[in-house]
Amino acid sequence: MVKSKQQITDESDFAFCNKLVADFEASIEKPQKPCSNKLLTGVDLGTAYIVISVLDEEFNPVCGAYRYASVVRDGLVVDYMGAVRIVKELKKEIEEKLGLELTHAAAAIPPGTSVNDNGAVKHVLESAGFEVTNILDEPTAANAVLRIQNGAVVDIGGGTTGISIFKDGEVIYTGDEATGGTHFSLVLAGNYKIPFEEAEAMKKDSEKHRELGPILRPVVQKVASIIAHHIENHDVSNIYLVGGTSCLTGMEAIIADELSIATFKPVNPFFVTPIGIAMNCKVI
């Protein structure tokens, strides 16, 4: 069982995060019995994937589901009905596995997202049958899992790179720019002259990452320049990467080299933000 009050004394130690993510991955295939019927649900409407994560009140993973989708672009909902349909289907899938209804949910958006876009995300969840209890920015949601006191949490998703800077555990700055996994796939598609879908599959194959590294290095350097721009007026000594695009082998080393700032990532950065969203779900 994951204890919600466990403390990390070394900011580069991802023991708590890695255990939580591993337990969540296991719960997708084998749902766990919650400590009560009060479930915390997080819905991550990503550019490449929609993920629903379910935790119990003690932040123990209970179940989850995810699906590749193209209903969001650069943090904006571009296919409202498609987003509602997928969230409904994933919700039903989890409810059938648990024999329980999911009623409340939290969501997250890229930093700097407008009020209108915030409302679109809320409406998607409401149309799918959720009561929305909280909407927060993605890197801040991720830090519920990372629990970083000082440094920059960088969420590199499918469409955008979002940054939240923390000082003494509090957010002092957020920012976001359009560059993410989609751009990586476009570069691969152009280089190998293959369809975008094939490039997506190639990018996800960790055995190919050594071959792809030199091709994708300029895009990683672009991400590093985005980070540099947003942290330039702040004292940041550590950077922490999350988000599916961060799964690229060696990305943290390139960013550390570009910025001369220590850069870390957990074992599986993909599920960190969805779990953090669920941890911020408020259920009375």
SS3 annotation, 203-270: HHCHHHHHHHHHHHHHHHHHHHHHHHHHHCCCCCCEEEEECHHHHCCCHHHHHHHHHCCEEECCCCHH
Expressed in angstroms, the distance from the first to the final Cα of the chain is: 22
In the chain, the domains with their CATH numbers are: 15-142+271-279 (3.30.420.40), 148-270 (3.30.420.40)
Strand partners, 42: 53, 106
pLDDT number for residue 1: 37
pLDDT number for residue 8: 37
CA-to-CA distance for 215 and 31, rounded, in angstroms? Answer: 39
Question: Are the beta carbons of 57 and 38 closer than 8 angstroms?
Answer: yes
Buried-exposed string 7-37: b where 16+ CB fall within 10 A, e elsewhere: eeeebeebebbeebbbbbeebbeebbebeee
Buried-exposed string 133-168: b where 16+ CB fall within 10 A, e elsewhere: bbbbbbbbbbbbbbbbebbbbbbbbbbbbbbbbbee
Select from 111, 108, 67 the least CA-distant residue to 91: 67
* Sign for the pseudo-dihedral over CA of 91, 93, 96, 98: negative
pLDDT number for residue 78: 86
Block mean pLDDT (10 aa), the chain, length 284: 38 82 96 89 91 96 93 80 95 96 93 66 95 92 94 91 93 90 94 94 93 95 96 94 94 96 94 96 84
**CA contacts within 13 A on the Cβ side of 126:** 10
pLDDT number for residue 2: 38
pLDDT number for residue 234: 95
pTM beyond 0.75: the answer is yes
Burial bucket for residue 219 (CB in 10 Å: 0-12, 13-18, 19+) = buried
pLDDT number for residue 112: 67
CA-to-CA distance for 142 and 121, rounded, in angstroms? Answer: 18
